[in-house]
Amino acid sequence: AQRVTQPEKLLSVFKGAPVELKCNYSYSGSPELFWYVQYSRQRLQLLLRHISRESIKGFTADLNKGETSFHLKKPFAQEEDSAMYYCALRASGAGSYQLTFGKGTKLSVIP
């Protein structure tokens, strides 16, 4: 069974400081990894996925299969980045339907 671990419940950084939200996963096959974000009083929404190799709102995440990690990074935090961030994994292959979410990390950017 797959598992996603986000070791930090809360991460506080100052505006302009670099941000790294950690995500580690456990899965024997080839996973697909996602980051979802939930701003205050808003719905959960997709931030980025590893296969796209894109940068969204200045955030990037690289899948490191050796370390089984998919950390989310941003060089300079902004106040509007304050939100709850969830790392999620979808197993590959037939019958792989569900997303397994980590417990989330609350990012607080201090002005």
Range 7-66, binding other proteins (CB under 8 A): 32, 42-46, 49, 51-52
DSSP element (H, E) containing 53: none
Residue (32 or 60) nearer to other proteins, CB: 32
Separation between Cα atoms, residue 111 and residue 37, nearest integer Å: 20
Residue (19 or 48) nearer to other proteins, CB: 48
How long a stretch of residues is the chain?
Answer: 111
Neighbour tally for 17: CB within 10 Å: 13
Contact positions toward other proteins, by CB under 8 A?
32, 42-46, 49, 51-52, 84, 86, 90, 93-101, 103-104, 106
